[in-house]
Structure 1
Amino acid sequence: MNFNIKYISKFSLAMLLLGGTMTSCTKNFEDYNKNNIGLTDEDLKGDGQDLVLFLKNAQMSIYNFSGAGDPNSYQVQQNLNADVFSGYFMSPTPFNSGQNNLNYAMVNGWNGEPFKVLYLNVIKSIEKLKSNGLAETYPALWGSALVIKVEAASRVTDIYGPIPYSKVGTSNTVPYDKQSDVYAAFFKELDEAVTALKSYKADSPMAAKIDQIDLVFPNTDNQVRFANWLKIANSLRLRLAMRLVKVDAALAKTQAEKALDPTNGGVLESNTENFKITIPADGTYSNPLWFISKNWADTRINATLSSYMTGLNDPRISKYMAPVIKDATTTAFAGKYIGIRAGADGIEKDKYQKLSALNTEGTTPTFVATTAPVLMTAAEVYFLRAEAALRGWNNAGGTAQSLYEKGVETSFTQWGVTSGLSTYLNDNTSKAAAYKDPFNAKNNANSPSALTIKWNEGATNEEKLERIITQKWLAIFPEGQEAWSEFRRTGYPRLFPVVVNNSGGLIDTKIQIRRLPFPQNEYNTNAAEVQSAISLLGGPDNGGTRLWWDVNKGNF
């Protein structure tokens, strides 16, 4: 295993701030109010380097880069849960003697990392900046910090359900908020962010080191920068609004129409506006997904993704993944795109690491050490707008079909695919392929879906939604957290279930995993509040319990 988790005390201040803490589930809210990182309030004022460090830390911890060539925090934060549960990746490594989250034998030591990273790396940094007057000194910059906070926290509540939010930092025992209240807080914070971002003018004061601070739009004119951040804020509101469509349709519609109202600043429409975190050029950090795939061979493409992309003749496939490399054991299937079933039977690393990996090789690899992790794209927003149009909401800016097709087109452009778009969009026969495991027939499966690509205006709304969500899933790769959340919300795309289910009956194989259990450290240090959180959750603290917005009913 590659989980040599380090303790905070082993790192310098700069490493703590930029790379994020990498303790394994040792977070304690008792430390939240303490200035235990060596900075005074005075250090955080003005244009000082510490402003740069704190805001960098918050941005880089949404999708935790870790540091010093050691991305094991990200590996547990996302790659060994949502990236697999979304149908994007699967590990060829049989961690914990083959008993682990990937076959629903939940590992306590893995389940706390998203929680820890949010509070120690993101919220702590942003709250410290707030207490030192960032909102008053540089309102637009504070607006972008709020967007970062909501982006990071929304991912975590969508992993666990209830989380501490409204009273974090107020006491040593921190109460959890029910998820509906957390979402209400998100919308309120996005209101504040939008107001602050709209306030930026050409002569507004701004931190001198803004290009070091802003890893999303570095080296950008400030008016363009904050106009883009405003679009991200509105796009994030649209994403979160859509999440609520089954549980509170009225609120979902209200917030979505607010996000889409052009007088509020617009949403992402171009790939130049995509929400991605630039990797600092000092050589200390690398794209953690690239690192895990290339250097550790701990992640490979999921069979669901390879089956959809091969069956649909998707021209993006060579951008996403590498074909099986030929050697003495792979001659019969070398050159093909073959992934690994989630929860596969009989995983052996020396065999399965030879199957399709992230495209990190060849003369034109898509993923390299400096590839910026992408958190939200214009393509995703076009698909959100397509769903809004399908639901008859205002301000979508087009028909469901036109926005669906624009989403595919924008994704092709993002990935540098310059031909085949028309053929792809007009394909009404291709469907996801059946899966054949070259090493173990127990993992074989029939095609997960008979859905085709071409829009069918005469189809039911449910079929239209499946088409929208399936193409959105293909477009937002490799962002597994959002893909897993949308799968749970809609049931789409249709994913291969795990082959081996070691949950002991706690997680239904057909329904698939719905959440992560609360961190063990919270039971150890905040036990009474965790018990209250379980009551708010409305079911047992296991991977089979649905979140508040994950309602077991049809999409229409």
Structure 2
Amino acid sequence: MKRTNNNIYKPSRLYRLLFMTGVILTGASACTKNFERYNTDNTGVNTNLTSLMTHEQMAVINFSGGGDPNSYQLQQNLNADCFSGYMMSSNAFGGNTNMNYFMMTSWNGEPFKVVYLDVLSYVSKMQGMGVDKDYPAVFAVAQLVKIMAMGRATDIYGPLPYSQAGTAKSGVSYDSQQAIYNSFFTELDAATATLRSWISSGQKLPFDFAPMDLVYNGDFNRWLQFANSLRLRLAMHIVKIDPTTARAQAEKALNPAEGGVITNNDGIMKVKVSGAGFSNPLVFIAMNWTDINIGASIQSYMSGYNDPRIGRYMDKSTDASFPVQYKGIRIGSTVNKPAYQTYSTLNFKDGSAPSFSLTTPVQLMTAAEVYFLRAEAALRGWSNTGGTAQSLYEQGINTSLAQWGVTDAEYINNNTAKPAGYTDPKNAANNAAAPSDITIQWSEAATNEQKLERIMTQKWIAMFPEGQEAWTEFRRTGYPKLFTVVHNNSGGTIDTDIQVRRLPYPQNEYNTNRTELNKGIQLLGGQDNGGTRLWWDVNKANF
């Protein structure tokens, strides 16, 4: 991480105004719509469009700038990856940070900046070039990536400029999160209709789409399945605030006539690391900066379950002062890097074939996640799920095991193993009892709440290391039960037991768009802090 002398991060790129995004977006529409406007090489590949498409895909978890993963570290790693229970840093970064709930103003604007400058503006440039008219299937893919990225952003902050983004140089209004989600579903309708039409027509593009598709290598059928899976994910997010819309959208996603959802591991949504100077940013931070370690929560669940994936997820500790073992760090612990960087990290060095390297694709949605979404839909009695809650739950586990190349025929039948408590060999003040006693084996005799905890716990294990969606689903359901923060330095704005609910808005918005920002804050209920609940984050039971 780039630091000033006082160890507080300062963005290496000038933090531009949201209004500047408006200039970028509206300026793009001035492009002409003749084929000659594209920069092409002698193979017919549209090199300009390739640059725009690949940049947008890499910006979802921002490694689009190449080389230096400062942006991703602040966009996700030092917030959602840690709040989800997956990660914790051995670096104290000067003392008060997000990890002990002192929400860092200089850090927490990064997701906001990225989604406007590196995603929405690139989609608008494509539209300004006429891609939506000339190559509608390609533009549908760009729209899907945009929806995923903007969904992550609104699930970080809440209300955001969306419908009016790019229409003005100042006074850009905020949409409610409900309106943003409704827009997502409408945009998914358009994108999936376009993809189904394109696929059924048998048409071919006048250039090779594969080089600009870092996910599915030009396979529009796979993109359609991802689109339906994304609809299912977004629908489930809103089940507690708007169960009618949630059910309707989930059943549409699962309707076979829509094109299907992701069902096997070759459909995983993951962005390839392609091109000189690019690397998987999470691996880079763990390997080259040694700034991130495994969190106590994921380690304690997997150790307690004797989960066969544990050695594929994490390396064992290297600390000579205690026996070699899997050992995470509890969030909010008082740490110093020399002592704690020896705790477990991502699996980039243990074993003959570690899971993670600098070129490992960046995972955003797994097939296992989709099975668990379907399991929850079945539990709620929705249509088109294609199985019972139990069968889909077990398929989710087995699909995840297969993804990570491990086998354990008895794992799903284990009805005794439970999450382990946490012991910190270097500081007993960080010790904690097991956060849950939930077991693995499905039980029809269990309550719906217990069944949901099983689904969500295994879903959380299977989504590793994608912390943004894991944090979102923890906030929505309360599962899995995570270790609480050791030191809460939020000044009372974040409840230790309820944990972080969102990131505060960037200071830049206060400086440049205060009037509209204040309207957005009112949509949140009037408070802009880490304890403020989002629209879909309803404080009530799951059933």
Q: Is the Cα–Cα contact under 8 Å of residues 422 and 432 in structure 2 kept in the other structure?
A: yes
Question: Do structure 1's residue 532 and structure 2's residue 519 form an aligned pair?
Answer: yes
Amino acid at match of 1:460: T
| Superposition deviation, residue 133 in structure 1 | 1.5
SS of the residue 1:374 aligns to: strand
2:256 maps to which of 232, 256, 262: 262
Amino acid at match of 2:271: I
Amino acid at match of 1:347: V
| Superposition deviation, residue 326 in structure 1 | 4.7
State the partner residue of 2:98: 101
Counterpart Cα distance in 1 of 2:358 and 2:39? 33
Amino acid at match of 1:33: V
SS of the residue 1:74 aligns to: helix
Q: Is the Cα–Cα contact under 8 Å of residues 378 and 385 in structure 2 kept in the other structure?
A: yes
1:109-258 mapped onto 2 (5 Å cutoff): 109-172=106-169, 173-201=171-199, 203-218=202-217, 225-258=219-252
Counterpart Cα distance in 2 of 1:22 and 1:268? 38
Counterpart Cα distance in 2 of 1:535 and 1:326? 49
| Superposition deviation, residue 444 in structure 1 | 0.3
SS of the residue 2:364 aligns to: strand
Counterpart Cα distance in 1 of 2:208 and 2:19? 31
Amino acid at match of 1:168: A
Q: State the Cα deviation string for residues 300-323 of structure 1 (Å, max 9, x = none).
A: 000001000000110000000000
State the partner residue of 1:9: none
2:396 maps to which of 407, 414, 433: 407
Structure-1-length-normalised TM-score: 0.92
2:268 maps to which of 270, 274, 297: 274
2:480 maps to which of 475, 483, 493: 493
CA separation of 1:520/1:326 partners in 2, compared to 1, >3 Å: closer, same or farther? closer
Q: State the Cα deviation string for residues 439-469 of structure 1 (Å, max 9, x = none).
A: 1111000001000000000100000000000
Counterpart Cα distance in 2 of 1:68 and 1:131? 25
| Superposition deviation, residue 209 in structure 1 | 3.5
1:355 maps to which of 303, 318, 343: 343
Question: Do structure 1's residue 365 and structure 2's residue 362 form an aligned pair?
Answer: no
1:488-527 mapped onto 2 (5 Å cutoff): 488-527=475-514
SS of the residue 2:488 aligns to: coil
SS of the residue 2:106 aligns to: helix
Q: State the Cα deviation string for residues 234-263 of structure 1 (Å, max 9, x = none).
A: 000000000111000000000000000000
Question: Do structure 1's residue 2 and structure 2's residue 8 form an aligned pair?
Answer: no
| Superposition deviation, residue 130 in structure 1 | 1.3
Structure 2 gap segments, 5+ residues each: 5-10
Amino acid at match of 2:270: K
1:299 maps to which of 275, 292, 298: 292
Q: State the Cα deviation string for residues 513-539 of structure 1 (Å, max 9, x = none).
A: 000000111111111111111011113
Amino acid at match of 2:256: P
State the partner residue of 2:376: 387
State the partner residue of 1:16: none
CA separation of 1:31/1:490 partners in 2, compared to 1, >3 Å: closer, same or farther? closer
State the partner residue of 2:8: none
| Superposition deviation, residue 68 in structure 1 | 4.2
Question: Do structure 1's residue 69 and structure 2's residue 63 form an aligned pair?
Answer: no
Counterpart Cα distance in 1 of 2:344 and 2:536? 34
Q: Is the Cα–Cα contact under 8 Å of residues 43 and 50 in structure 1 kept in the other structure?
A: no
| Matched length | 526
- C-alpha root-mean-square deviation of aligned residues, in Å? 1.8
Amino acid at match of 1:404: Y
Structure 1 gap segments, 5+ residues each: 5-20
Counterpart Cα distance in 2 of 1:518 and 1:354? 34
Counterpart Cα distance in 1 of 2:430 and 2:2? 26
State the partner residue of 2:81: 83
Q: Is the Cα–Cα contact under 8 Å of residues 457 and 480 in structure 2 kept in the other structure?
A: yes
Once structures 1 and 2 are overlaid, which stretch shifts more, 209-218 or 366-375? 209-218
Q: State the Cα deviation string for residues 386-414 of structure 1 (Å, max 9, x = none).
A: 00000000000000000000000000011
State the partner residue of 2:56: 58
Counterpart Cα distance in 1 of 2:184 and 2:18? 24
1:30 maps to which of 20, 23, 36: 20
Q: Is the Cα–Cα contact under 8 Å of residues 44 and 129 in structure 1 kept in the other structure?
A: no
Counterpart Cα distance in 1 of 2:364 and 2:129? 28
Counterpart Cα distance in 2 of 1:232 and 1:364? 29
Q: Is the Cα–Cα contact under 8 Å of residues 21 and 116 in structure 2 kept in the other structure?
A: no
Counterpart Cα distance in 2 of 1:207 and 1:84? 45
State the partner residue of 1:12: none
CA separation of 1:267/1:132 partners in 2, compared to 1, >3 Å: closer, same or farther? same
Q: Is the Cα–Cα contact under 8 Å of residues 31 and 129 in structure 2 kept in the other structure?
A: no
Q: Is the Cα–Cα contact under 8 Å of residues 333 and 438 in structure 1 kept in the other structure?
A: no
Q: Is the Cα–Cα contact under 8 Å of residues 18 and 116 in structure 2 kept in the other structure?
A: no
Question: Do structure 1's residue 480 and structure 2's residue 477 form an aligned pair?
Answer: no
Q: Give me the identity figure in percent.
A: 54
Amino acid at match of 2:2: N
Once structures 1 and 2 are overlaid, which stretch shifts more, 60-69 or 436-445? 60-69
